[in-house]
Structure 1
Amino acid sequence: MVAHIIINDTGLKVYGESKGKLVNTVMEKRCIWRKLHLAVDVSTHEVIAAAVSIVSVGNNEI
């Protein structure tokens, strides 16, 4: 059986708390970008594999 798959990625903006506190003890939020890579079977539309990476990693490396 041969499976035809499509691999694509999308950018994710991830928010987290910084280590330092601001005035009034409010935590500053910082943003990091990540990529979500998905491998999808063309005929069934089923996700076969998923991986999260840093933005500089391309689909061919995953």
Structure 2
Amino acid sequence: MTSANVRTEPKERKKPPTDGRRRKDVLFCPVCGHESPVDGSWNVTTAEAQQEYRCPECDQVVAIR
């Protein structure tokens, strides 16, 4: 029995800045490349003392804290 390959290729990713001025508290979406500070544009939900950060562009979970 073989399984179907359901993995999809990510959209073209945005390239991070290379000038060395990037903040250390920035999250990156592995699917679409969206980046924003932790306190930026992420959709955050809280449940049972955990926060889930979702990308505002593609709804991918990027962090659980």
Shorter-normalised TM-score: what interval? 0.3 to 0.5
Higher strand content, 1 or 2: 1
Larger Rg: 1
Q: Which has the higher contact order (CA 8 A, sep 6+)?
A: 1
TM-score (norm 2): 0.34
Which structure dedicates a bigger proportion of its chain to helix? Answer: 1
